[in-house]
Amino acid sequence: MKKIRARIPSGSILRVVGDGAIAGPAFEGKMVPVLILDTRNMPLVEEAIRMSEFAQPGDVRVAWIAWKYVPLALSLELIQPVPVSFVVPLAPERYAMLIEAMLKSGAVYIQGGKPGDRIKRDIDKKRLAVGIPPSEFGASWPALYKREMTRALMKRGLSRREAGQVAAKSRETFSDWAGFQLPNSGKPVDNV
């Protein structure tokens, strides 16, 4: 994971306003997270998502980054058909299950929106499918999660030992969910 020392322009930071996951024939039936981002102040992202059906695979550069007070963020640079870059902060204590699902599925869907938007209300809305290539972040994720979750639980009154145990157990639980895959995904079903 890259540590960023440079200042990231606030206009390029997109907050998650909704999330969920979709499993289907794409990505071999794996559970793929959907991040609904607040794109009201960055309409170029909405346009890039809309135009993404015309893009070639590999037209998005992805990196896991960290900077100053943000322990983890996903940096996305769309190359074409509409060039735009943005950063999505992902607090591990809040988005751990989605981060785990991104790593396990190797993908994420990006959807534009505003606060209050939900996948179930806009199931047919255009989404940008982004491949998350394996990186050294995958190996460092368990330690980062445990550190950040332990810190958050200690703020709520647990001892360091108790917080560490709860963090480890919670990761085991959601790691199983994040690895969900539809049976026979992408293969024709035999009705004989």
Q: Could you tell me the two tokens for 92?
A: 């591990």
- The residue segments making up the domain with residue 75 are 11-134
- Residue 142 within any structural domain of the chain: no
Instruction: Give the number of domains in the chain.
Output: 1
- Residue 188 within any structural domain of the chain: no
The dihedral formed by the CA atoms of 30, 31, 32 and 37, expressed in degrees to the nearest 10: 170
- Residue 48 within any structural domain of the chain: yes
User: HSE-up of 176 (CA within 13 Å, CB side)?
Assistant: 5
Closest CA to 141 of 109, 180, 98, 88: 98
How does residue 3 score in pLDDT terms, banded at 50, 70 and 90? low
- Residue 62 within any structural domain of the chain: yes
- Residue 146 within any structural domain of the chain: no
- Residue 97 within any structural domain of the chain: yes
Residues 36-59: pLDDT tens digits? Answer: 999 999 999 999 888 877 766 668
In one-letter notation, the amino acid at residue 78 is L
What is d(CA 103, CA 100) in angstroms, rounded to the nearest whole number? 5
- Residue 183 within any structural domain of the chain: no
* Residue 128 phi, psi dihedral angles, 5° rounding: -95, 120
Write the CB contacts of 142 (distance below 8 Å, at least 6 apart in sequence). Answer: 171
How does residue 29 score in pLDDT terms, banded at 50, 70 and 90? confident
Contact (Cβ atoms closer than 8 angstroms) between residue 104 and residue 42? no
- Residue 159 within any structural domain of the chain: no
Residues 91-120: pLDDT tens digits? Answer: 988 998 899 989 988 999 999 999 999 988
Which of 67-71, 119-123, 144-148, 183-187 is predicted with the least confidence, judged by mean pLDDT?
183-187
User: HSE-up of 6 (CA within 13 Å, CB side)?
Assistant: 4
Q: Could you tell me the two tokens for 63?
A: 């990196």
Residues 60-76: pLDDT tens digits? Answer: 889 999 877 788 999 99
